[in-house]
Structure 1
Amino acid sequence: MNLGAASFAMQGGAAHGQPSPEAHSPVGQACQEIASRLGVSPHELYFLGDGPLAHTLALAGLATPERQVSAIERSEMLAQAKKTLPVSPAGHLLECEMGANAYSLGWVNGEIGTIQEIDSWGTRIHQSGGLLHTDLSYGLGILPTPHEWDIASIDARAFGGPMLGIMALKSRTRWSNPLPTFSPSFGQFHVDQRMVIEAAAALKRYTALAKTHYERISTFNKALRGRCTAIGNIDIAGDPAGIPHIITFSVLYAQGEELVRAFALEGFHVASGSACVSTNLEPSHVLSATGKLTHGNVRLTIAYDEPDDSLNRFLEILPRVVEGVRQA
């Protein structure tokens, strides 16, 4: 460990001076629950005030020649990119030359649901002497977690947890605190430990729900895609084989905000615009990067325990809502 006025460098693992919680204490058990999902040790976890902060610090602390970021990553990562890496129309990272750089590639995209092959890309990056940061938020608790990464960040709200950011730093990874004046002794907990306990409980519940209802939500995803195709002039984003509970489609000849209002009148809360900016009606850089329509888009994030009656009713009203907005 090297403490100085300008930097704080460490290998993965809890910082000196802040003991890890007892394994059998409530917070110790919570850390173990989260760590087991990630395939790391509890002492390799760090807890921060929110997800965007965890995303920002995770990538910023990797000391490499340059940071290369997939074009569909969150704004926190794109703001640090020296080079933006292109993706396919389905949102998969395209073939590119690897080097001894830091790469940021999210596992499951929170806007279009596309799943990246993190283990495959991580192996290639490591063979080139590079480091991989990944955002694991939207697949955690649903799919088997990839392991070929060096540092991961998670927004606990993605699985129904509190406003909490989680950073997992593998012990082999050298990482330097990019904000030494903000937190000169970068300890494991930067939040009330009760939030960690709440996040672990939320992740456990979410995992159980996803296991029970994954196939049912997948069936709805396929039905919705088919209904959009039948209506016509609707551009469906992402890979059909992606995560089923995240669906985005763009409606030609309609405005996104009008669609949001129309669905709200029917009792459905949907979103439009970019998924990672505070003013969510801003045009989506994810849709732009994948060559999809950036106006008239609708994004659904479906709860795994959403009742069938609700899902079926959405399919029923969709043609009427689209037609009504188009004619307005």
Structure 2
Amino acid sequence: MSSEPLHPAAREVLLAALDQGYADPRRLHAPARGARLMLDNAREVVAGCLGVRPDEVSFTGSGTEAVHRGLLGLLRGRRRVGERLVHSAVEHSTVLHAAAWAGGDHLAVPVDRDGRVSVEDFAAACAEPGVAVAALQSANHEVGTCQPVAEVAARIGEVPLLVDACASAGRLPLPEGWSAAAASAHKWGGPAGVGLLLVRKGARWRNPFPGDDRVDERTAGFENVPAALAAAAALRAVVEERAEVGARQRALVDRVRHGVLAVPDVEVVGHPDDRLPHVVTFSCLYVDGEALVHALARHGFAVASGSACTSSSLEPSHVLAAMGALTHGNVRLSLTRDADETDVERFLAVLPGVVADIRAEAGL
């Protein structure tokens, strides 16, 4: 699954805030002032958790919106320099869609078999004439590989860097060197429909969309104050418990990475060590991804296949293709905070039979 179930801390705060945070934070009456205090509190908590300034935090309607606003705003702020965007070949489709919408030239920097860019290659691409902005995810949403964001940022000079931190925010510290960054609350157990746009103080960011007379000039529309406060509560809880939960999930993922190799013709992808603690992806040769998803669902396992960006269409993953890995028959597991050894061992017990049955139906 790409979403984490609502964290207990978020549920408690959300229910309490629904009765208090309904008013428009722009207004001056008492309920509005209360809503404004709640929104400001949410911003303070998020800033503390991520190590940023409160005035660098904006709440958006989703992680996708945060990526779009962050990237397009940096491009607009640098249009006198050029229109070229440099990004890794494994960025989320939100980056690719925003780049296509903006027009101009964009260059995808290749990755290695683990899904990681070369710092040298990325820096060389950013040194080309007309490069306005660079985009590099903190960790891959699909295979878990972490990118050398801080090292890249130190090498690309004045080129501003957008960091898509949707997959890693809360679970790993926010890397250094970004001019704008994006995160998504449902990834860490906050409510869906809340994203974070971070814009570094002093960055040349210009609003790429029509403005709005809101408290926050970087966004538009009436903020969902209760959801923002619940997202902040969940983020704080996840950051406080990430050492323990992360270590437990990393051990479980290691067990999966080794255990699935008992199935013939299986390839585990992503960096074995420098990765998200809770994500693992593997591909099964001679197996249809959709059939695998449905078969595992019958055993109670919610897994994904195809591209993590367009999984509903089960299109081949551009991430796996860029890595030179198998693009069919892949399974992506995202462990929730309450997953345990029993869940993992049952999955590993079920998988060989499921794969064997699918291959047998295909005459293999």
Give the TM-score taking structure 1 as reference length: 0.87
| CA distance 1:132–1:142, change in 2 (3 Å) | same
Trace 1:169-188 onto structure 2 (pairs within 5 A): 169-180=199-210, 183=212, 187=217
Specify the alignment match of 2:180 in structure 1.
Answer: 151
The residue matched to 1:279 in structure 2 has which SS?
Answer: helix
SS in 2 for 1:194: helix
Q: Which runs of 5+ in 2 are unaligned?
A: 1-25, 101-105
Distance 1:154 1:172 in 2: 20
Contact 1:209/1:305, CA 8 A, preserved across alignment: no
Of 132-141 and 209-218, deviating more is 209-218
Work out which of the residue numbers 216, 238, 257 in structure 2 matches 1:206. Answer: 238
CA distance in 2, matches of 1:214, 1:155: 18
Q: 1:49 aligns with which of 55, 58, 61?
A: 61
Q: Aligned residues: percent identity?
A: 36
Alpha-carbon distance in structure 1 between the residues aligned to 2:27 and 2:145? 38
Change in 2 beyond 3 A, CA 1:83/1:18: farther
Instruction: Name which of structure 1's ranges 295-304 and 199-208 shifts more when overlaid on structure 2.
Output: 199-208
- 1:222 counterpart = 2:254: yes
Q: Which moved more, 1:243-252 or 1:218-227?
A: 218-227
Greater helix proportion = 2
1:138 aligns with 2:167: yes
Are 1:34 and 2:43 counterparts?
A: no
Could you say what secondary structure the match of 2:181 adopts? strand
* Shift, 1:85, TM fit: 1.2
Alignment counterpart, residue 61 of structure 1, candidates 73, 86, 106: 73
Residues 1:22 and 1:134: Cα distance change in structure 2 (over 3 Å):
farther
Structure-1 separation of matches of 2:298 and 2:111: 36
Is the counterpart of residue 92 in structure 1 residue 125 in structure 2? no
The answer to whether the Cα contact below 8 Å between 2:60 and 2:194 also exists between their aligned partners in 1 is yes
Q: Over aligned residue pairs, what C-alpha RMSD do you find? A: 2.3
Indicate conservation of the 8 Å contact 1:70/1:93, yes or no: yes
Q: Secondary structure of the residue that 1:211 maps to in structure 2?
A: helix
Offset of 1:209 from its aligned partner?
Answer: 4.3
- Give the aligned residue type for 2:59: F
Q: Secondary structure at the match of 2:348?
A: helix
Q: CA deviation at 1:228?
A: 2.2
1:144-172 per-residue CA deviation (whole Å, 9 max, x = no partner) reads 22121110011111111121121000112
- How far apart in 2 are the matches of 1:23 and 1:279? 37
Moved more, 63-72 or 147-156: 63-72
Q: Whole-Å Cα distance in 1 between the matches of residues 134 and 58 of structure 2?
A: 20
Shift of 1:213: 2.3
Per-residue CA deviation, residues 172-215 of structure 1 (Å, 9 max, x unaligned), is: 201111112x6476625642222210110121232344322222
- Structure 1 segment 18-33 matched on structure 2, within 5 A: 25-33=37-45
What is the distance in 2 between the residues matched to 1:216 and 1:53? 32
Residues in 2 aligned to 1:101 and 1:38: alpha-carbon distance in whole angstroms:
26
Match of 1:121 in 2: 152
Contact 2:305 2:330 in 1 (8 A): yes
